[in-house]
Structure 1
């Protein structure tokens, strides 16, 4: 019995295309900023504005994640990354918050890039589903972020 599944590649989703456009705009905006201090202050304002635009539950979680990340690892610089709040070390993204609404997902995600120092043997988690940010979750996030930049 042979099966002939014909599914043509349809390209990027509308949400993926929108994220790529946001990323291009972020890079253009960053290039126009003058001083490094101005860039950092403007980037954090951009992150806070993006968080403020989120739907209620995503916004509440993003606000808590932002507070925890910036307190646990003040060396990380907030910046937008594909339209998502992200935190960078020396210009390279270490972690990011992806709202559930961003890609019409069931839950928000706290993700870590390959720059994060979370290596643990031949396999380790690099993304965490978030349905709410409780004090216990905040403690776990702080520990992960501290480890990611250690």
Structure 2
């Protein structure tokens, strides 16, 4: 890991650590899910939010927000695929959550891997 990557990781961990509980614990868990699902993604701060990109100098692919609700979002940078089925041509790009159970953890990992494709 380069020193820039280490600095960025530290900034993301610090940003998450400043959140109030229970969001802090949930966001730490989501961070771990993301970096485990795709170890090539590099944590960084993007517009003040924890985010994950291919490198320290490329746009973020995924962001985490903690406003009224916690949110996992795919930015406009990765290739989107229409959802199909009842959602037709809609392309899912954001998911709100209040906690993370095993089912949600699995889905977050799937989302992250789909961004990496």
TM-score bracket, normalised by the shorter chain, equals 0.7 to 0.9
Partner of 1:56: 21
| Cα root mean square deviation, aligned | 1.4
Q: TM-score, normalised by structure 1?
A: 0.69
Q: Partner of 1:140 in structure 2?
A: 107
Unaligned 5+ runs, structure 1: 1-35
Which of 65, 68, 73 in structure 1 is aligned with 2:30? Answer: 65
Which structure has the greater CA radius of gyration? 1
Residue 88 of structure 1: aligned partner: 53
C-alpha contact 1:97 1:111 (8 A) present in aligned 2: yes
In structure 2, distance between residues paired with 1:96 and 1:136? 20
Q: Hey, what's the Cα distance between the residues in 1 that align with 2:26 and 2:15? A: 13
Which structure is richer in relative contact order (CA contacts within 8 A, separation 6 or more)? 2
Greater helix proportion: 1
DSSP 3-state at the match of 1:85: strand
2:2 is paired with a residue whose SS is helix
Q: In the aligned structure 2, how far is the partner of 1:61 from the partner of 1:116?
A: 25
- Residue 78 of structure 1 contacts residue 86 of structure 1 at CA under 8 Å; is this kept in 2? yes
Q: Deviations over 1:106-138 (max 9, x none)?
A: x11111111233422632111101111111111
Match of 1:123 among 81, 86, 90: 90
Runs of 4+ with deviation above 6 angstroms = none
C-alpha displacement of 1:75: 1.0
Q: Contact between 1:117 and 1:147, CA under 8 Å: does it hold in 2?
A: no
> If each structure's strand is expressed as a fraction of its own residues, which one has the higher value?
2
